[in-house]
Amino acid sequence: MNVLERLHKTSIRATDIASQYWCELKMELGYTVGERVTAEMRKGRSMHEELENEVNEPLPLEPKSYADYLYKMLYTNGLALDALHKNKRTREVQVYGSVNGYRLVGKIDELVVHEDGVMVSEDKTKSERSAFSEPQTRPHRVQVMLYRKMLQDLRDGLYTSANFCRSYGVDRLALTPEFTRQLDALGVAKDTRSIRSVSDIFFEKCTKIGKLSDTVQLHYIDQFTGKTLKVMRLAYTEKEFDDIITFSMKYWNGERNATAVPFEEKWKCDYCIFFGKQCKVWWPQKKLG
């Protein structure tokens, strides 16, 4: 059984790889044991929804099946890219790709048109007191670098609608009659009411996104007030992306087990729901300390 099967997954999320850079073992336990949704996570999600609705019109489509869900995602993505050209910014664009033969998915928080090209920006909610040390911001850095590379591959036509349809078995999927009625009510043209057609449209739009900026951004937002706490601009390089993939894929390929945080980062265990239960790596030291 490979790692993906063991974790009951079919794709690797960009956030999985980012989480490996916080604590790989915690990421794995999140799948094998299950992670509780904390109040902080809920707050972060609702703030993302509020921000998305500020920029992109919510769509009155209610998927009834996996096929409907895929259609809605691709359709919404296409509209989000239209908004980018119209408003010079857009939010919540799901990106797809492939790495080492694994399916890779992620959702970009924001794309903004700058003078030097389209910039990928990622929002993170934090409490004001939180610090911005390197270990704390490392997973966010990884996430935004992955998004930048995935978007580049879509723009350059290295991951296409054909790749997507093959990988997701699109030709075996059919939209539900109820969802098709919703598309009808929305005025969606008959010849674009299939996943393959909406996929073709979205991936074609990706190739026309324009030049991408080599700067990526992390936008830290106060989780209570919604105000900006800090903006970090980082230089994207292929080298950094390659290093991220080289490290993370050793885990996904089963070449090594999930690693716990190093001794000097065992303070992270104070924030981990598995500490002292499913994970006792630093339990004796913490008890003594």
Q: How many CB atoms lie within 10 A of CB 59?
A: 12
12 interacts with ligand SF4 by CB under 6 A: no
Query: Please, what is the minimum distance in Å from the beta carbon of residue 212 to ligand SF4?
Result: 34
Query: Among 3, 12, 29, 216, which residue sits at the site for ligand SF4 (rule: CB under 6 A)?
Result: 29
Binding span for ligand SF4 by CB under 6 A among 74-82, 113-121, 241-249, 274-282 = 274-282
Task: Scan residues 46-65 and list those touching ligand SF4 (CB under 6 A).
Answer: none
Are 260 and 25 in contact, with CB atoms under 8 Å apart? yes
Binding span for ligand SF4 by CB under 6 A among 71-79, 109-117, 148-156, 266-274 = 266-274
Q: At what angle do helices 238-252 and 134-155 cross, to 10 degrees?
A: 100
Query: Please, what is the minimum distance in Å from the beta carbon of residue 126 to ligand SF4?
Result: 18
- The helix (H) or strand (E) run that includes residue 134 is helix 134-155
Comparison of 18 and 95: residue with beta carbon closer to ligand SF4: 18
Tokens representing 285 are 């030291």
Handedness of CA 123, 45, 82, 143 (dihedral sign): positive
- The helix (H) or strand (E) run that includes residue 281 is none
81 interacts with ligand SF4 by CB under 6 A: no
Residue 91 three-state SS: strand
206 interacts with ligand SF4 by CB under 6 A: no
269 interacts with ligand SF4 by CB under 6 A: yes
Cα 190 from Cα 197, distance rounded (Å): 10
Task: Scan residues 216-255 and list those touching ligand SF4 (CB under 6 A).
Answer: none
Judged on CB neighbours under 10 Å (0-12, 13-18, 19+), 229 is: middle
Query: Please, what is the minimum distance in Å from the beta carbon of residue 36 to ligand SF4?
Result: 13
* DSSP class per residue in 226-249: --EEEEEEEE--HHHHHHHHHHHH
Query: Among 3, 12, 17, 23, which residue sits at the site for ligand SF4 (rule: CB under 6 A)?
Result: 23
Task: Scan residues 145-184 and list those touching ligand SF4 (CB under 6 A).
Answer: none
Report the interface residues with ligand SF4, using CB under 6 A.
23, 25-26, 29, 260-261, 268-269, 272, 274-275, 279, 281-282
